[in-house]
Amino acid sequence: MTDSFPRQYARTQRFTLGAPRNITVAPDGSRVAFLRSSGPEDPVTSLWVLDVASGAERVVAAPERLLASGSVGLPPEEALRRERAREQAAGITGYATDATHRVATAALAGQLVVGDLVEGVASVIEVPGTVIDPRPDPTGTRVAWVDGRSLWVADLSDPSTARRLAGEADPEVRWGVAEFVAAEEMERFRGYWWAPDGSALLATRVDETPVERWWISDPAHPHHAPVSMAYPAAGTANAVVTAWILRLDGTRTEVIWDHDELPYLAEADWDDHGPLLGLQPRHQRSIEVHSADPSSGTTEILWTDHDDAWVERAPGTPARLPDGRLVMCSDRDGRRQLMVDGTSVTPATLQVRGVSHVSDGSVVFTANPMHDATSLALWRWSDTGIEQLTSDEGVHSAVVGGPTMVVKRSSLEDHAPTVTIRGGPTLSRSVATPLVTPRVTISHGGRRRLATALLLPHGTPDDALLPVLLDPYGGPHAQRVLQARSSYLTSQWFADQGFAVVVIDGRGTPGRGRDWERAIQGDLAGPPLDDQIDGLLALAETDPRLDLSRVAIRGWSFGGYLAALAVLRRPDVFHAAIAGAPVTDWRLYDTFYTERYLGHPDGAAAAYNASSLLPEAGRLERPLLLIHGMADDNVVSAHTLQLSSALLAKGRPHQVLPLTGVTHMAGGEEVAENLLLFQLAFLQDALGLQD
């Protein structure tokens, strides 16, 4: 059978299989550990190590060598953790190391894997229960892990010493884990941190008793019981999260702060200066960084920040230099700045995006020019000044250990990222070559200089008049217009079916400064939709090939919300829409995300009503396809079902495609392939493009 791009795209997990990922570097810079599958269609990842001096790579832990025949089960808790992290691969999908980067631990089918990164060997260690998120202590002599609702610890030299360090009979209380909003929205995927000397842990206690219970059912298999989940919808109660010092001798001390004022534990760590916590109030208009005394649990405020809309946290912060100076990022004077010991150290031309590494007297960070967020460069600050480390266009990130810096670069010239040791070898990759080659032009158009990508069919005559397909995300915390070829593969496939595909990053998307991001405060609908229209019209003024009488829009998640909004509010511009997993009523989405932008529903009913699709149902006059995974526990299927009911009540024809057993990721080779083909057929019919 002839291969197709949709099937290839799904089979290669969006062309990520065979690429190095989850990279860590030894503190002396001598070796680099990473995960990688054996080839472009192998979904099972193994743990590898590279010797920096020789450039030689060696597999340390391969699942097929470690697992007994038929032992391939995935514990439910691990499946949920992977869903939050949008992890589709199998095998070893995460690992942790000790301070010297010699001992590595990983979970594999609920079992504990322990590897030696110097010798390049690993084995399965028998410990009680199911192993989730195992982490060695910094000294490399012990390991901790989560089993269900409990946190366990054992000596690596004698696994029989395994013991429960914290756990309760109450089924609503879990230790050492990230609650739903932490993993889904804060990007905090863990719930415990070792002390540098390995004598204690800083651990979360998560009490989900106050949280409403939602039920995720499988309508295609009515004999399966619904799954209960604690889902904190906007305006409802969150889990109660506290932090504790758990000592290996069995004693414990609670870390003290005002939980009523600061209920969100957004970040945590334990460095040589002690435990560090990033805390936020529910309205998120401020943040406090506290240091904790591990003996008494008392805390001291090291940093506070405030924004009248919300405080935007930066990846990699808070952090401390070895001398104790605090490293933070803060939106001041309209731009995100790198702050060291309370002082801004970056020029006015930069928008800082995150901190990659903090070491002796220096900070490696990522930033883009204020006027252009499509390219992301690496910079380094030190006490002697600031320098740009990468000058080529593309999207860069870095991992550092001692003198070794590993740079990952995505560009428009290459279909997959390259991972290179600065001044040294490049990590091997075995990534499939896509069956499409993006023909993309990036520009900045309109009065707001909206970042816009245009993709055209190959071989299109210069005078061809093409139907238009907008393919945005368009919301907070995500960009689609980047100097990275891999961002445009699906868009190009649609373009090759005869469309001019347009991708626009408008207000609310990251990288363009404080006011740009916060233009959506209190209104998630107006500014994002206005910018899609403005960007489209600006592009059409310069490119006559765009046929504005045949314009469609498609999107997933926030992009799905934006697509449905477009045909409901502006049928004069948009003639068809595909809304995948759309948020249709923000009261049904979670607290941390939704309340940041719209406020608490009790005091911001007008903002919720103005941003909801349900009151707009009677305005539909264009073809609309709603797609939703019935097993989605992030944007639950109730969003689509409620909009469909509202449309039916108003007598508005539309289509609904339910995906049984499919989550928010919508993975699976056959589902993903046929989903793209179904969308194409819908667009061709809706725009009158059928032969």
Count of the separate structural domains present in the chain: 1
Asked if residue 406 has pLDDT above 50, the reply is yes
Asked if residue 313 has pLDDT above 60, the reply is yes
Q: What is the pLDDT of residue 671?
A: 81
Asked if residue 67 has pLDDT above 90, the reply is no
Q: Encoding tokens for residue 465?
A: 């008049």
Q: Is residue 640 part of a domain?
A: yes
Q: Is 605 helix (H, G, I), strand (E, B) or coil?
A: helix
Which pLDDT band holds residue 669 (cuts at 50, 70, 90)? Answer: confident
Q: Which of 11-15, 272-276, 341-345 has the lowest mean pLDDT?
A: 11-15
- Tens-digit pLDDT profile for residues 421-469: 999 999 999 999 999 999 999 999 999 999 999 999 998 888 899 999 9
The closest of 482, 484, 486, 456 to 469, measured between CA atoms, is: 456
Work out the average pLDDT over 16-38.
97
Element counts in the chain: helices (H) and strands (E): 12, 43
Asked if residue 186 has pLDDT above 70, the reply is yes
Work out the average pLDDT over 139-168.
97
Strands (E), 109-226: 111-116, 121-125, 132-136, 142-147, 150-155, 158-166, 173-175, 192-194, 200-207, 213-216
- Tens-digit pLDDT profile for residues 105-128: 999 999 999 999 999 999 999 999
Q: Is residue 108 part of a domain?
A: no
* Average pLDDT for the chain: 95
What's the start-to-end Cα distance of the chain, in Å? 25
Q: Is 518 helix (H, G, I), strand (E, B) or coil?
A: helix
Q: Which residue has the higher pLDDT, 691 or 112?
A: 112
Q: What is the pLDDT of residue 475?
A: 96
- pTM score: 0.96
Work out the average pLDDT over 385-393.
96
Work out the average pLDDT over 506-513.
98
CA angle 305, 310, 311 (to 5 degrees): 40
The pair phi, psi for residue 402, each rounded to 5°, is: 55, -130
Work out the average pLDDT over 297-315.
98
- Indicate the pairing of strand 362-369 with strand 350-359: antiparallel
- Indicate the pairing of strand 546-556 with strand 466-470: parallel
Q: Is residue 463 part of a domain?
A: yes
Asked if residue 68 has pLDDT above 80, the reply is no
Q: Name the DSSP letter for residue 182.
A: I
Work out the average pLDDT over 152-167.
97
Letter for the amino acid at 285? R
The closest of 662, 474, 495 to 581, measured between CA atoms, is: 662
Which pLDDT band holds residue 70 (cuts at 50, 70, 90)? Answer: very low
C-alpha count within 13 angstroms, C-beta hemisphere, residue 447: 4
Q: Give strand pairing partners of 267.
A: 278
Which pLDDT band holds residue 691 (cuts at 50, 70, 90)? Answer: low
Q: Is residue 149 part of a domain?
A: no
Q: Is residue 661 part of a domain?
A: yes
Q: Is residue 277 part of a domain?
A: no
Q: What is the pLDDT of residue 689?
A: 92
Asked if residue 644 has pLDDT above 80, the reply is yes
| Cα 476 from chain centroid (whole Å) | 12
Are residues 296 and 320 in contact, defined by beta-carbon separation less than 8 angstroms? no
The pair phi, psi for residue 391, each rounded to 5°, is: -120, -15
Q: Is residue 525 part of a domain?
A: yes
Q: How far apart, in whole angstroms, are the C-alpha atoms of residue 154 and residue 373?
A: 46
Domain harbouring 451, CATH code: 3.40.50.1820
Task: Give the Å distances, CA to CA, from 120 to 32, 57, 61, 400, 534.
Answer: 12, 10, 8, 21, 55
Q: What is the pLDDT of residue 83?
A: 84
Q: Is residue 213 part of a domain?
A: no
Asked if residue 273 has pLDDT above 70, the reply is yes
The closest of 548, 555, 547, 551 to 578, measured between CA atoms, is: 555
Q: Is 634 helix (H, G, I), strand (E, B) or coil?
A: coil
- Tens-digit pLDDT profile for residues 468-486: 999 999 999 999 999 999 9
Which pLDDT band holds residue 74 (cuts at 50, 70, 90)? Answer: confident
What residue numbers bound the domain in which 597 lies? 440-686
